[in-house]
Structure 1
Amino acid sequence: MAGQIPEKLIKRINELAKKKKTVGLTQAELDEQKSLRETYLALFRKTFKSNVEMLRVFDKNGKEVTPEKVRKIQRERNLRDD
């Protein structure tokens, strides 16, 4: 999956969050926490966007109803041939 979030990034974010609740963080740790969260959000958005762009939607009768905007992106990336 494109832009998958590394486990060590999540682990470090959680370590800092726990430490913040218990003993507090130094300014350097606060800066690191902010940077890690920004990185996490950027990777999350990239992954989410990729997932949406790969999506194909069908109604209950089996007819494809994928939004045209998504179909256009899929065509540009050679993921569709229609």
Structure 2
Amino acid sequence: MLSPDKIERINQLAKKKKAEGLTPAEVKEQAKLREEYLASFRSGMRHHIEGMKVVDPEGNDVTPDKLKEIQKQKGIHNRNDNF
């Protein structure tokens, strides 16, 4: 998770870029912060998706096999059975 200070700095740089432009040092800082933000977002999204269990309207577990295997490896949803 990105710290609130870094998110605030991302927003400051975005506003400054629109208003007056950024210095070369600020452009580099913005790119670095953007990469940190994206890495944090991707990690959180991956964690969220890996924890999902897909169920059809009849209540049957229809989670894709690839996801079941990841969950089994990580011990999520007690995926110890063979599918």
Q: Is the pair's TM-score, using the shorter chain for normalization, greater than 0.5?
A: yes
Match of 1:60 among 57, 62, 82: 57
Alignment match, 1:31? 28
| Greater RCO structure (CA 8 Å; 6+ sep) | 1
CA distance in 2, matches of 1:5, 1:73: 25
**Counterpart of 1:73?**
70
Aligned residues: 79
Structure 2 portions without partners, runs of 5+:
none
Identity score, percent? 46
CA RMSD of aligned residues (A): 1.1
Structure 1 residue aligned with 2:40: 43
TM-score (norm 1): 0.88
In the aligned structure 2, how far is the partner of 1:61 from the partner of 1:5? 40
Which structure 1 residue ranges, 5 or more long, are not aligned?
Answer: none
What is the Cα deviation at residue 49 of structure 1? 0.8
Number of the residue aligned with 1:16: 13
